[in-house]
Homo-oligomer: A and B are copies of this chain.
Amino acid sequence: MNVNSNTNRLAGILMRYHKIPDETIRRLPVYLRGLLFLSESGQERISSRNLADMLSVNPWQIRKDFSYFGDFGTRGVGYNITKLIKHINKILKLNVVHRAALVGVGNLGTAVLAYAGFRIYGFDIAAAFDINPKVIGKKINNVTIEDVSKLRMLKKRNIDIGIIAVPRSAAQETADALVKAGVKGILNFSPCYIAAPKKVKVITIDIAIDLARLPYYMPSN
Contacts and interface: CB of A to CB of B under 8 A. Distances in A.
Interface of A: 25-26, 28-30, 32-33, 54-56, 91-94, 98, 106-108, 110-112, 114-115, 117-118, 120-121, 123, 160-161, 184-185, 187, 191, 193, 195, 199-201, 203, 205-220
Contact of A213 (B92, B212, B214): B92
5 contacts: A33-B209, A93-B218, A108-B111, A161-B211, A205-B205
B210 A187 contact: yes
**Closest 10 pairs (CB-CB, A-B):** A29-B212, A107-B111, A93-B215, A201-B217, A117-B208, A184-B218, A185-B214, A108-B111, A111-B111, A29-B209
A212 B210 CA distance: 18
B118 A211 contact: yes
Contact of A214 (B30, B111, B161, B215): B161
Contacts of A184: 218-219
A215 B159 CA distance: 12
A32 B185 CA distance: 27
Contact of A111 (B92, B110, B206, B210): B110
Given A33-B191, A55-B193, A193-B56, A212 B115 contact: no
A108 B115 contact: yes
A221 B59 CA distance: 36
A161 B210 CA distance: 13
Contact of A107 (B30, B94, B115, B161): B115
A44 B214 CA distance: 28
